[in-house]
Structure 1
Amino acid sequence: MLLEVEGLCVNYGHIEAIRDISFGVEEGTVTTLIGANGAGKTTTLKTLSGLRKVRAGKVTFDGTDITDMSPEKRVKLGLSQSPEGRGIFPGMTVRENLDMGGFVRRDKAGLAADLDRVMALFPRLSERISQVAGTMSGGEQQMLAIGRALMARPRVVLLDEPSMGLAPKLIQQIFAIIKEINEQGTTVLLVEQNAAQALKAADQAHVLETGELVRSGTGAELAGDPSVRAAYLGGDI
């Protein structure tokens, strides 16, 4: 496993947000976590990024224990995140936001190549390269958030609710880009409330309920699971 979570427990004060969850992400795959609001999906990603402290358990990345590693070191190791709510720098231009995504890197040629890659994935950003990010539409800001995460040249990119608040046409576009990112060689760990799209995109999938991992399988297996269909897919997919 490229990324492995073992017995992970995370608290917010006295409240258990994550209780003893274990799962792995294989290199080259798309893995998704689905669940209702408050299930612990975003907390899981924040913990993997180093933004939440672990109460118990272990996180391993490519054989290295990163449980207590700083967020910056995790980015250098190959783990970057596009956060829930996009988290762009609204007063900066598109180009400045993308430059921030590569802040840990010193390889100018590689950064230039990755900027070209992001522009190819998101032509809209190329058209708005000098625009102040806070003036763009929600869909454009989501593209920017994903592009910024890719500028770190991650081995695993963590995508937290990339379709949130977007129109159906844009959701289709974002998921097509996620597929392309994966096909280009980047492993994806995806958190999504749009369970139908997430399971369609996923090689492996896990269901979180109130901080516990209650079901795992391939995307197709969970899409066909009656209990998953009833809870998250409106009875159909």
Structure 2
Amino acid sequence: MLLEIDNITLLYGRIQALHGVSLNVGQGEVVALIGANGAGKTTIMRAISGIRPVASGKITFNGEDITKVRADLRVIRGISQSPEGRGVFPGMTVQENLDMGAYTRRDTKEIAADLERVYGLFPRLKERRKQAGGTMSGGEQQMLAVGRALMSRPKLLLLDEPSMGLAPLLIQQIFEIITEISKQGTTILVVEQNAQQALSRADRAYVMETGRIVKEGNGPALLDDPAVREAYLGAA
């Protein structure tokens, strides 16, 4: 397994946000994590990327225990995140935002190749490369956030709510690009409220409720699960 999370707990002050969560992501997989607001999905992402320390349990990445490794060193090891809310640098151009994604790298030729890869995935970004990130639409900012994360050439790409606030047509486009990124060889863990899109494209998926994993299975099987459909797709 590329990523193994073993029985982690995480606290916000006195509040326990994660209760013995275990999950794994295999090399080359697209794994979805779905659940209602406040279920703990973003908290897991923050634990994996090192933004929030875990209280107990273990996180293993590429065979190495990274439970106590600093966030910036996890990026160097191959974990990159497109955060909830996009988090683009509003005063920087598209090009400068993408350059920031490669800040840990020194391989100039490969960085240039990856920039062209990102522009190939997101032609709109190439058209707008001199435009300030903060003046772009929500969909364009989401493309920029994903592109910036790809610029570190990650082994594992963490996508936190990539469809949030987007129109249905853009949601479809974003998930098509996620599928293409996977086909190009990047392993993906995606947190998503749009269960239909996430489960239809995921190899495997986990369902979270109140800081716990309550279901797991392959994406299409969970999409057909009556309890999942009733809870997340509005269908009995």
Distance 2:98 2:195 in 1: 29
Equivalent residue letter for 1:29: E
Equivalent residue letter for 2:77: L
| CA displacement 1:110-153 (0-9 Å, x = unmatched) | 10000000000000000000000100000000000000000000
SS of match in other structure, 2:159: strand
Partner of 2:211: 211
Distance 1:14 1:202 in 2: 34
Equivalent residue letter for 2:174: I
Equivalent residue letter for 2:67: T
Equivalent residue letter for 1:86: R
Partner of 1:22: 22
Correspondence list, 1:134-173, <5 A? 134-173=134-173
Shift of residue 196 of structure 1? 0.6
Correspondence list, 1:56-95, <5 A? 56-95=56-95
RMSD after superposition: 0.6
Distance 1:32 1:173 in 2: 17
Correspondence list, 1:47-62, <5 A? 47-62=47-62
Shift of residue 224 of structure 1? 1.0
Distance 1:81 1:163 in 2: 15
Structure 1 stretches of at least 4 aligned residues deviating more than 6 Å after TM superposition: none
Is the counterpart of residue 5 in structure 1 residue 2 in structure 2? Answer: no
Structure 1 unmatched ranges of 5 or more = none
Shift of residue 234 of structure 1? 1.1
| CA displacement 1:64-118 (0-9 Å, x = unmatched) | 0000111111111110000000000001000000000000000001100000000
SS of match in other structure, 2:90: coil
Identity of aligned residues (%): 62
Distance 1:20 1:192 in 2: 21
Distance 1:57 1:23 in 2: 12
| CA displacement 1:207-233 (0-9 Å, x = unmatched) | 000000000000011111111111001
Partner of 2:44: 44
Equivalent residue letter for 1:50: G
Shift of residue 43 of structure 1? 0.4
Partner of 1:96: 96
Distance 1:42 1:130 in 2: 31
Shift of residue 235 of structure 1? 1.3
Distance 1:18 1:233 in 2: 24
Partner of 2:128: 128
Distance 2:186 2:223 in 1: 24
Distance 2:74 2:35 in 1: 26
Alignment: residue pair count: 236
Partner of 1:111: 111
Equivalent residue letter for 1:141: Q
Partner of 2:33: 33
Shift of residue 40 of structure 1? 0.2
Structure 2 unmatched ranges of 5 or more = none
Distance 1:106 1:153 in 2: 12
Shift of residue 14 of structure 1? 0.7
TM-score when scaled to structure 2?
0.99
